[in-house]
Amino acid sequence: MSEFLIKLDLVCKSYGGGASTVHALTDANLAVRAGEFLGIVGPSGSGKTTLLTMLGLVERPSRGSIILSDGSTITSKTTVRALRNVRRDRIGFVFQKPNLANFLTAEENVQLALDVRGKKIPREEARNLLTGLGLGNRLRSYPHQLSGGEQQRVSLARALVGRPSLILADEPTASLDEERGIQVLRLMRSLSAHQKVAVCIVTHDLRTLQYFDRIVRINDGLLSELDGEFRARE
C-alpha cells in the first residue's frame, strides 16, 4: 500500500464548553492511503460524522494534528481559508442525498462543481466522467428525470470532476434500494482501485462490509480497527 494521503495524529474534537462540553472525537489515529476503500461504522451519535469532517478538513481539530501527504499540518490554529483551499483541491464529497440542482442537467450539475472549485480542467471532463459512469445517454436529463441510482452517480461524478485524491461519502446508499445501493458501492470500489482514489464511506449497512479493504469502528469518539474475524461476526 502506498504512503498516506491524510493522517490523523491524536486528533480530538470537542463542542461546547464547561459542563456541557461534548467530546465527539478522542485521540484519533488514522492514516488513509491512495487507492484504499475504507469503511467507517458505528452507532448513531458515535462520532462518525465528526470523523468525516476531520478527514474532509471541514473543521479544525480541537487538539492534535492532521498531516497531509506533502508534509503540511492542520492544527487548531490553521486558518479557515487554508482549510478551504486544501479541501477544494484534494477532497470530493458524496452525501446521503445527491443534492443536485433541479434546474440544471446532469452535465451542468457536474460542470458547476468545476466552476465552484475554479479548476482549470477541460469542461469535457464532466461529460467524460458521466459517460464512464454509464450516464452517457443522460447528460441532458434533469434530476427529476433520473432514478435514485442515476442521481447518486451524478453526485459521484461531481465529486470526482476536480480530480481529488480523496472521496468522502456519508451514507451514500442509504436512500437507495438494496440492488441500486450495491451497484453504487461496487462502482465506487472500482473507481478507487483503478484511479487510485482513496474512498472513505460511513455506513450503517453491515451487508456492505465485505466490499471494504479495511473497516474502522467508532464508538463514543474512540476508533478501533476491525480484524477479519470480527468482520465475519458482524
Q: pLDDT digits over 90-106, tens only? A: 899 988 888 899 999 99
Question: What is the tens place of the pLDDT at every residue in 43-73?
Answer: 888 999 999 999 999 999 999 999 999 899 9
- CATH number of the domain at 136, please: 3.40.50.300
pLDDT mean over 166-195 = 84
Domain tally, the chain: 1
Percent of the chain's residues with pLDDT above 90: 47
Position 234 scores a pLDDT of 42
Return the ∠ at Cα 112 (arms to 48 and 186), rounded to 5°: 45
**Exposed e or buried b per residue across 29-65, where buried means at least 16 C-beta atoms within 10 angstroms of its C-beta:** ebebbbbbbbbbbbeeebbbbbbbbbbbbbebbbebe
Least confident of 37-41, 47-51, 162-166: 162-166
> Which structural domain, as residue segments, surrounds residue 110?
4-233
Can you tell me which residue has the cell 450503517?
204
